[in-house]
């Protein structure tokens, strides 16, 4: 079970949005490379990066910041936001990304996603962002008529490495992950699912260790890490099975 720390990039800075609103951005670090290095030093083994400007523009906007991140960490990095063509995918993988995340193009052109999976096996994830149960696109600015499971099933057998499922109504507001919808999705498809949106506390980390969550690849954490609501050492120890909850606290396992 992987805990993915998130770096969301807006105008070259590490930010977190509230409910996906670009006008409600809190800046946490103006040095994305340093933030990536800090997450690695804390013991995290993956990094989730989103080019927020790129998601709206339909092309890379924070490329320099992403390249700084890649130089600053040895950890594998997955990137979403503005990646819409095979050329975009190939260029980013050549720069050292472990995998790309395709969101809007998964709705607009699912055949391109399937072609990308054939051309770059194991390197392509699909981002499904939902509001009110329907998939949103273009940096969450537009709603589609597609349901979450309906879209996910389009990619069964295509070789998609993972689905990153975000509940927009919970993103950035520390409301807790929508575990019911996330686990329903994981049970509906064979593709590994990563939970995103609203991870708020160690209670969510403990929830990741429950039997019905075992099908998940992991979960993404942003604001809760930046605000200090989650202690990285504790969270990672819980996921490794080294700590167990006792009366609301934690103790080392014998």
**Spatial separation of the C-alpha atoms in residues 130 and 168, rounded to whole Å:** 6
3-state secondary structure of 106: helix
Residues 6+ apart with CB under 8 A from 134: 143, 144, 145, 146, 147, 148
**Spatial separation of the C-alpha atoms in residues 44 and 3, rounded to whole Å:** 7
**Spatial separation of the C-alpha atoms in residues 33 and 7, rounded to whole Å:** 10
Q: Is 23 assigned a catalytic role?
A: no
Residue 60 corresponds to which tokens in the numbers above?
A: 């890379």
Residue 52 corresponds to which tokens in the numbers above?
A: 């927020």
- Choosing from 11, 30, 31, 129, the catalytic residue is 129
**Spatial separation of the C-alpha atoms in residues 97 and 43, rounded to whole Å:** 19
Q: Could you tell me where the beta strands, DSSP code E, fall in the chain?
A: 2-10, 13-18, 21-29, 47-51, 77-80, 99-102, 124-131, 134-137, 142-147, 163-167, 193-196, 216-221, 243-246, 249-252
Q: Is 11 assigned a catalytic role?
A: no
List the one residue out of 127, 7, 3 whose CA is nearest residue 67. Answer: 7
The residues assigned a catalytic role are 8, 129
């Amino acid at each position: 079970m992987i805990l993915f720390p998130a770096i969301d990039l807006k105008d070259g800075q590490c930010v977190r949005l509230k409910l996906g609103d670009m006008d409600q951005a809190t800046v946490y670090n103006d040095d994305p490379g340093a933030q990536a290095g800090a997450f690695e030093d804390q013991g995290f083994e993956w990094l989730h990066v989103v080019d927020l400007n790129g998601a709206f523009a339909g092309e890379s906007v924070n490329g320099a910041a992403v390249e700084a991140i890649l130089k600053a960490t040895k950890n594998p990095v997955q990137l979403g936001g503005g990646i819409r063509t095979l050329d975009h995918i190939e260029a980013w993988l050549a720069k050292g990304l472990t995998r790309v995340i395709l969101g809007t193009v998964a709705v607009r052109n699912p055949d391109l996603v399937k072609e990308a999976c054939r051309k770059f096996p194991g390197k392509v994830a699909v981002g499904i962002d939902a509001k009110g149960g329907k998939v949103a696109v273009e940096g969450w600015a537009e709603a589609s008529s597609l349901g979450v499971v309906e879209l996910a099933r389009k990619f069964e057998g295509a070789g998609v490495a993972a689905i990153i499922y975000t509940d927009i109504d919970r993103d950035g507001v520390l409301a807790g992950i929508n575990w019911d919808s996330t686990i329903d999705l994981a049970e509906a498809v064979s593709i590994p699912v990563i939970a995103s949106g609203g991870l708020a506390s160690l209670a969510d980390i403990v929830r990741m260790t429950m039997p019905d969550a075992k099908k998940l690849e992991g979960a993404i954490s942003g604001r809760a890490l930046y605000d200090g609501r989650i202690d990285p050492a504790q969270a990672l120890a819980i996921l490794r099975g080294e700590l167990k909850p006792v009366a609301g606290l934690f103790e080392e396992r014998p």
